Amino acid sequence: MANSNLPRRIIKETQRLLSEPAPGISASPSEDNMRYFNVMILGPTQSPYEGGVFKLELFLPEEYPMAAPKVRFLTKIYHPNIDKLGRICLDILKDKWSPALQIRTVLLSIQALLSAPNPDDPLSENIAKHWKTNEAEAVETAKEWTRLYASGA
């Protein structure tokens, strides 16, 4: 079974995620694959995503922690750094990855990204443009999408 040789680091990280979860974040490993995590992030207060519950999937590749985890939004979200497939534009998931980072730090960074969209480094060109030309309207759309798709029903 794939989980038999799980590195101690992953086991420890998992234990800690379960025993002391970060506020607004939950991550639990899949039963049949300990490298696959079901993640939920609560929309940060005072952001257009407030009140939403966002589902993500997180996978630890074979090379982890030398390589970054792979993370993707499963819930539809209107955000300039997240595309329609849920892929996230975040430096620590790419070239700024360091093995000293963890699942917890990655998820906290994603949470922070929800509070502070960065339309200057967009993944979704259209949404970023919307954000830059008419921020109020874009924020409204984000709120609308949160209500429609992330209301936790």
Q: Which residues bind other proteins (CB under 8 A)?
A: 7-9, 12-13, 63, 65-67, 92, 96, 98-101, 105
Per DSSP, the residues of 92-149 read GGTTT--TT--HHHHHHHHHHHHHS--TTS-SSHHHHHHHHH-HHHHHHHHHHHHHHH
**Phi, psi of 94, deg, nearest 5:** -120, -115
Q: Which of 34, 92 has the CB closer to other proteins? A: 92
Q: Dihedral (C-alpha) 12, 14, 18, 19: value to the nearest 10 degrees?
A: 0
Q: Which of 7, 152 has the CB closer to other proteins? A: 7
For the bound state, the minimum distance from the C-beta of residue 98 to other proteins, rounded and expressed in Å, comes to 5
For the bound state, the minimum distance from the C-beta of residue 100 to other proteins, rounded and expressed in Å, comes to 4
Q: Which of 12, 84 has the CB closer to other proteins? A: 12
For the bound state, the minimum distance from the C-beta of residue 9 to other proteins, rounded and expressed in Å, comes to 5
Instruction: Give the residue numbers annotated as catalytic, written as ranges.
Output: 89
